[in-house]
Amino acid sequence: MSVLEALAGILSNPNFYFTFLSTTVPILLPTLGCAIAENVGSTNMGQEGIMLLAAFFGVIASAYTGNVWVGFLAAVAIGLLMGLAISYFALYLQVDIILVGIAVNLVGSGLSAFLMYVFTGDRSATTSLQSGTLPFIDLPGIKEIPYIGTALSGQSVLAWVAYLLVPVLSFLLYKTRLGLRIRSVGENPHAAESVGVSVNKTKMYALVISSVLGGIAGAYLSMSYLPYFSKGMSGGRGYIALAATAMANNTPVGSLWTSLLFGFFYALSTYSGALGVPAQLVTTLPYLATLVGLVVFAIRVQGKERRRRQEGAHAAAEGDDGAARAA
């Protein structure tokens, strides 16, 4: 009973909603990224590594130039470079894209930790560096509104960017030529190829967009959410993004809802003290939610496979991308 009362207490605390919206951002960005990649028929497993590298190099660039926007641009550039690298390995060298993603994640966690030690002599965080934080936006009029004002005012500029990206990416996917091509390539690459749409080029665009979103998420982590880089600070959000994307059926709007769901558990875990249950238990909540999410994902994939099998000769002609990977 006391747990429920504590929960009610947390939910009636206006500050909780501020936390809720800000914990959602570093999940929403990689989730949107994964959604774009899934639409083109590729799984971007590497968000975790991209976020770490972007977060780290963002802090370094910010600290050494004294300009936080240079740090932000460095993070975006890391996303761009990683997107190109993933495309190069997966599309031109034909390495399995899941393996490429795993490699990116291993490199991301290892390289960021190693370079942090090289640059700062510290093994856990870059607190010794004078890196900046991106501006937080105060909303003078709205600030006074209970709950809504508290939740919205003072969020990072990147939080606004993240939420605005939901309609922007919806527009990109469903209303533009690139979006049409991305969806066509994802659904039937042979069809796209046969009318002269370059499958690799389209996939590369989608993977670069996807990875840049991971880069922005990294910038948010180390220059907004926290004012420094710490080892492994992405905390599995890149994997959570995969689950969130799958549950969202790969749509940007759906990604927003599932990201909010995971963000909610993250926010709750930061209030673990007030819940009166062991902190360790509460901090497992986001991961528990991910596990449930992944089970949903697995069931979906199975359904898709079954459909593919039954669709017969036409759709499953000469081993298309997905079937080949499943085999």
Partner 1 sequence: MEDDFLRLEHITKVYDNGIMANDDVNFSARKGEIHAICGENGAGKSTLMKQLYGVEQPNEGRIIVKGEEVRLSSPLVAIAHGIGMVFQHFMLVPSLTVAENVTLGIEPTHGLRFDAERAVAMTREVCDKYGFDVDPTAKIQDLTVGTKQKVEILKALVRGADILILDEPTAVLTPQETDELFVQLRALRDTGHTIIFISHKLGEVKSLCDRITVIRHGHTVGTYDVRDVSESDISRLMVGAVVQEEVPKDPARPGAPVLEVKGLSVADQNGKLAVHDVSFSVREGEVVGIAGVEGNGQAEIINAITGWASPAAGTVSIDGHEVRALSIRGLRDLGLAYVPEDRMTLGIASNLSIRENMIAGKQDRPRYNKGVLQDQQAIREDTDQWIREFDVLCDGGEQTVGMLSGGNIQKVVVARELTAAQRLIVCDQPTRGIDVGAADSIRRRLVRMRDDGSAILLVSADLGELLNLSDRLLVVFDGRVVAYFPSTEGVSEEELGYYMLGVRQMEGQQTGGAYLV
Tell me: does residue 180 bind partner 1 (CB under 8 A): yes
211-223: b (≥16 Cβ within 10 Å) or e: bbbbbbbbbbbbb
- Interface residue with partner 1 among 30, 71, 83, 179 (CB under 8 A) is 179
SS (H, E, C) 192-209: HHHCCCCHHHHHHHHHHH
Q: What is the rounded CA–CA span in Å between residue 164 and residue 162?
A: 5
Window of 33-41, 44-52, 64-72, 172-180 that interacts with partner 1 by CB under 8 A: 172-180
- Interface residue with partner 1 among 161, 197, 226, 274 (CB under 8 A) is 197
Tell me: does residue 187 bind partner 1 (CB under 8 A): yes
Cβ of residue 299: shortest distance to partner 1, in angstroms?
13
Straight-line distance from the first to the last Cα atom of the chain, in angstroms, rounded to the nearest whole number: 50
In this structure, are residues 97 and 42 in contact, taking their beta carbons and an 8 Å threshold? yes
Cβ of residue 174: shortest distance to partner 1, in angstroms?
9
- Interface residue with partner 1 among 153, 184, 211, 259 (CB under 8 A) is 184
Tell me: does residue 299 bind partner 1 (CB under 8 A): no
| CB of 144 or CB of 311, closer to partner 1 | 311
Tell me: does residue 183 bind partner 1 (CB under 8 A): yes
- DSSP state letters, 81-98: HHHHHHHIIIIIS---HH
Q: What is the rounded CA–CA span in Å between residue 181 and residue 260?
A: 29
Tell me: does residue 192 bind partner 1 (CB under 8 A): yes
Tell me: does residue 94 bind partner 1 (CB under 8 A): no
Q: What is the rounded CA–CA span in Å between residue 293 and residue 62?
A: 36
- Interface residue with partner 1 among 77, 84, 157, 316 (CB under 8 A) is 316
Q: What is the rounded CA–CA span in Å between residue 72 and residue 57?
A: 9
Task: Give me the half-sphere count of Cα atoms (radius 13 Å) on the Cβ side of residue 210.
Answer: 37
Which residue is associated with the tokens 């930061």?
270
- Interface residue with partner 1 among 176, 201, 249, 288 (CB under 8 A) is 176
Window of 56-64, 206-214, 255-263, 308-316 that interacts with partner 1 by CB under 8 A: 308-316
| Binding site residues, partner 1, CB under 8 A | 175-177, 179-181, 183-184, 187-188, 190-197, 303, 306-310, 312-319, 323, 327
